[in-house]
Every structure is written in structure tokens, then in C-alpha cells.
Amino acid sequence: MVQNKIETKRCLASRWMPCLILLFATMPNAIFASSGTLIPESTRYPRLVRLTHGSAASNGWIVASTISKLFVSKDDGKTFSFLSNAPSRSGVKLRCCETLFELPRALGSLPAGTLLYAATYVDEAATKSSSGSVPSPTFPGVFAIDVYASDDQGQHWTYLSTPVSGSGERGAGGLWEPEFLVAHNGSLVMFWSDETYSCCSQKLMKIRSSNGKDWRNPSDVVATTNPKDRPGMIVIRQLPTGVYFMVYEMCGTHHCDAFFRKSYDGWSFGLPSDIGTRIENDEGQYLRHAPTVIWTPSPLSPNGMIVAFGQMLYNADGSLAKQNGRVLFVNTHLDGSGGWHTIKAPVEVPNTYNHPCPNYSSSLLPVRNGEALLELATDFYALDQCGASFGTRSWTDLLPADLVQSLSPISH
């Protein structure tokens, strides 16, 4: 890859027309194009949330975020417009990997419908003090996860708290990828990926709060006995049964394959040393990198569907699948048991590869009263320019005919 970049720079300097061929051959991101509609000014790491617990005037709106920019759709995902810049405060810099979460019930002084935003930030003053200089690839900074709250649907934000910060036991390392849920006892639980412990390359942790400001009980969620394991990127959704369904990647010895586990209270997800269950379809194909999950109603399944996403798709023998970048997995059992099936993706990203742009950590949401599925996915739209595209497809278009025939339609 380094050699390709050098040759491309030489070619561009020469201004020869044949260099266009080399440009597209050595910079594959210049020719990638997803099937969705690009949101101008959007970036990476897309997230979607439908407002349902706040003001009646805004109920049904869809708020989307990408790193540094937020957008809103007031027409059920048909169009998106700029909403606001991502929140920040003096002395910290937004780094990446945000989450959006609407409170389904009051939490302390925060009313139901409050929108929460959390992301990885770098403490610039602490970084300079620790390193003696600006951050570098070998010392990326002193990290924190900040939480912000909005009472006007994401137009304005107020700093709420910093649940975790600092360099920990290792004196370096990131705090990444926050995720929220409200547990059965009413507490707000935050999960994150933590590189600051000496035990391992990375582990998944949790912490909880009764008001969004004061945090307690930090503990492990996934922390295996193999120090080379690197679990990360938790995403959790609550199923209609009340069960919390969690997906995450297991990097290191498990190559970033997507795994899942469940909880009945939103806090206890089993032994941290248990790697969980890999998500596989009936053919043994499996997902890899940056998984996400939702539950959605569907006119084709009386139980609705658990929909799982992964950046890349592999065959049972470890080879890259031909449907890579074009499909999702669904499970029609309310507890996530049984087999997974392959369906089309609302936004297809052909030629997806292991890079934090194309098809990386997509976000999904049911639309049209559960008749269709909306996806927000990223891809390169110009040389080294990564943006988010959205697309919607009906369930009858997403599912293959043989799977439709095997399901029992909901009676009306």
C-alpha cells in the first residue's frame, strides 16, 4: 500500500493522462460507490435513532449522526437535512465512534425523550502534559468518553458527564465506542471498549448511573483469558420479550468475527471469559468487523426479525463470500435462537474490504410502520472522501422467495 501511494504521487506530478489508469488501480477507494443516496457533509460511523418518547411534534423524526455532523429526517427516512454539529467542550477534541440514544423514561432530572450523545474525545491539555508534544501515531492522546444531552431533538447540546477517562494501568490506550441501554432496574448503563488495562489488548466494560451524571460499578463484560483477544464495538437492542441482545466483534485470535450474547436484566451478560456465540447462517457463512443489530417488526414474520450486520461476509471455509457488502442476516426467533438467514441489504456497498470506511458499522432502522428497512452505510464517494448514504427497501424486496415461503405471515 505504501508503494502504491508513492507511485501515485509521482504519476500525479507528471500530469500524464495514462496516470489516470494508475490512479484508479492503486487507489481502489476512488471507484467504490454504494447504492444509497449520499448525505452531503456526512462522514463515518453512522448512527440512527427514531424519536418516540419526547415532544409529540417531533415524535417519528429520525436523527442521524456521523462523526462531527448530525442530520434529521422528518419524512420517515426519505430525505435528511443538516441538524447540528456534534457537541464538544473547551479543551477536548472529538475523536470518533459516537452513539445516539433517546431516553425511554425519566432519568434523574432528565425527562423521557432526552437525546443523549456520547463519543470518544481527546483531552488536549492532558495529552500535551503527558507526551510533551501534540499527539502522534505512537501516542494518540489521553482519552475520555463524554456524554451530552439535548432537550430539543439534537439542535443544541449540554455537557452532562464523563463516565470514563484517562490512561489507566497501561499509561496509554483508547476508550472507544460507547453504547447505552436502560436496564430493568431503571439505571442507565454505558458500555465501551477499553485499551488501558495491562491484562489484554482490549476488553469490553460497563458502568451505570441513576441520573446520567454520577457513574458507579465499572466492571468487565467481555474479557477473555487470552491477552491477544480484542473484543470491541458493542451494540445492544432490547427485544420485545425484554431480553437485551448484544453483538460485538472478537478481534485478535478470532479475526474480528461477529459474536452475540444476551441478558435478562441489561447488566449481567454472562461470564466475561466466555467469548459468546458466533453469528452464522445456515450455510456456515459468518460476519466480520463492526457488527450492529436491531429488532424490527415485519409483515413477513409474526415474531418480527432480529437483523444483524457486519462489514464483511465470509464463507464457512474462510474465503470471502461473493455477497460481501451486499447482505444482512436475520433471525425470526424472539430469543435469537435457531438459524440465521441471509437477505439483501437496503444499501449495497460492493467491493467492501477491511478499512474503516466502506460498509463500516452501518446503522439500521424500521420505517413505513415496519413494512421496510432503512440503512445508513458509508463508502468512498471521492478520493479519500468517506460519507454516509441512506437507502430503504421493503421486506418483500429484501427477502429471497424461499425464505418468504418458509415464514408465516402476520394475519391482518
pLDDT at 132: 61
22 assigned to some structural domain? yes
Among the listed residues 96, 164, 172, the one whose alpha carbon sits nearest the alpha carbon of residue 140: 172
Q: Which residues contact 307 (CB under 8 A, 6 or more apart)?
A: 293, 294, 295, 296, 328, 329, 330, 364, 373
In a domain, 388, yes or no: no
Would you say 300 and 274 are in contact if contact means Cβ atoms under 8 Å apart? Answer: no
The pLDDT, as a whole number, for residue 172 is 87
Question: Does 9 map to a domain?
Answer: yes
Does the pLDDT of residue 407 top 90, yes or no?
no
The reply to whether 290 falls in a domain is: no
Query: CB–CB of 133/140 below 8 Å?
Result: no
Instruction: Please give the average per-residue pLDDT across 71-81, as a whole number.
Output: 98
Q: For residues 122-149, give the mean pLDDT.
A: 78
For position 134, what pLDDT does the model report? 56
pLDDT at 236 over 70: yes
Integer Cα distance of 125 and 127 in angstroms: 5
Asked if residues 398 and 309 have their Cβ atoms less than 8 Å apart, the reply is no
Confidence of residue 124 (pLDDT cuts 50, 70, 90): confident
Which backbone phi and psi does 246 adopt, to 5 degrees?
-115, 135
What pLDDT is recorded for position 28?
47
pLDDT of amino acid 137:
56
- What was the pLDDT predicted at 335? 87
The predicted model gives 218-234 an average pLDDT of 95
Domain-located, residue 347: no
* 180 part of a folded domain: no
pLDDT score recorded for residue 408: 52
| Type and span of the H or E element at 125 | helix 124-131
Residue 6 has pLDDT above 50, yes or no: no
Q: Residue 24: what are its φ and ψ, rounded to 5°? A: -75, -25
* Helix, coil or strand: residue 123: strand
pLDDT of amino acid 135 = 60
More confident residue, 412 or 298: 298
Asked whether the beta carbons of 251 and 230 are under 8 A apart, the reply is yes
- Chain centroid offset of residue 204 CA: 15
Is residue 108, in this structure, part of any structural domain at all?
no
pLDDT of amino acid 125 = 80
Residue pair 374/367 in contact (Cβ under 8 Å)? The answer is yes
Sign of CA dihedral 382, 96, 152, 52: positive
Fill in the DSSP letter of residue 272. T
C-alpha cell recorded at residue 286: 459468518
Amino acid sitting at position 281: N
φ, ψ for residue 9 (rounded to 5)? -60, -45
| Nearest by Cα to 371 from 291, 292, 305, 293 | 305
Cα Rg, the chain, nearest whole Å: 21
Mean pLDDT across 259-276 = 96
User: 270 versus 351: which is more confidently predicted?
Assistant: 270
15 occurs within a structural domain = yes
Average pLDDT over residues 296-316: 95
Please give the pLDDT value at position 33.
55
Which residue range(s) make up the domain with 6? 1-31
Count Cβ neighbours within 10 Å for each residue of 353-385 and write b for 16 or more, e otherwise.
Answer: beeebbbbbbbbbbbeeeebbbbbbbbbbeeee
Q: What is the number of domains present in the chain?
A: 1
Top-confidence residue, 128 or 244: 244
Is the pLDDT at 10 greater than 90, yes or no?
no
Q: Which of 383, 381, 312 is nearest to 352 (CA)?
A: 312
- pLDDT tens-place string over residues 334-390: 888 889 999 999 999 998 999 999 999 999 999 999 999 999 999 999 999 999 999
Residue 214 has pLDDT above 90, yes or no: yes
62-67 average pLDDT score = 97
Q: Give the whole-angstrom CA distance, residue 410 versus residue 302.
A: 5
Question: Please, which pLDDT band fits residue 25 given cuts at 50, 70 and 90?
Answer: very low
The average confidence (pLDDT) of the chain is: 89
